[in-house]
Amino acid sequence: MEPYYVDPHVTLYHADWREVPADLLRADVLVTDPPYGMAWNTDTSRFGGGSPASVSRRGAGRADRLSVAEDDQPFDPAPWLGYPEAIMFGSNHYAQRLPVGTTLVWVKRYDDGFGSFLSDAEVAWMKSGHGVYCFRDLSMTGQARSRSHPTQKPVSLMRWCINKTKGGCILDPFAGSGTTLVAAKSLGRKSIGVEIEERYCEVAANRLRQEVLGLA
């Protein structure tokens, strides 16, 4: 299988991960933001309420994004539990299928907006341990109109996650716009990504071309 994008640190495939030969998915660490199975409506233009300050920060929304692939069916984390280290976002949607582990919390909302509009935070499951750790990053609040993928995460958040792991090569089988790969490259870690939608492969490849190792 030919990569969609490759450089000395990153290999990205445009494919359904189930169609990728297993030897190409070999990695030490899994870090991913999979489809949660919530059938997320990516038309954010439907959100018109809130205070003037809130609307100013998040914008009027967008109605031109693709739906999240496979988000219309329950997510099964079983194929990924065998990796020595693993971090998976959206774990509150499939917690009953996960063993006990560490919980990572991304606080993404301004304090004055808590409880007012969708979720105040997102959580991820990390293999091993049992603590709860938080990371505050509000940058996506002001990028609602400009983000490339409807569930895009901040690079700083994914760097924080990756820095909690000890292994070498990182795998993201649901790469989206490539944030995990960009974060890994900025930390000097090798990574492998798989993304089913070619539009997002293109976005990820462009971001990776612009990434300067160690300066992100």
What is d(CA 185, CA 8) in angstroms, rounded to the nearest whole number? 9
Where do the domains of the chain lie, and which CATH numbers do they carry?
Answer: 5-210 (3.40.50.150)
pLDDT in tens, 112-146: 888 877 789 999 999 999 999 999 999 886 555 56
Structure tokens belonging to residue 130: 């049992």
Which SS3 state, helix, strand or coil, does residue 112 take? helix
pLDDT over 70, % of the chain: 81
Q: Determine the pLDDT at residue 34.
A: 96
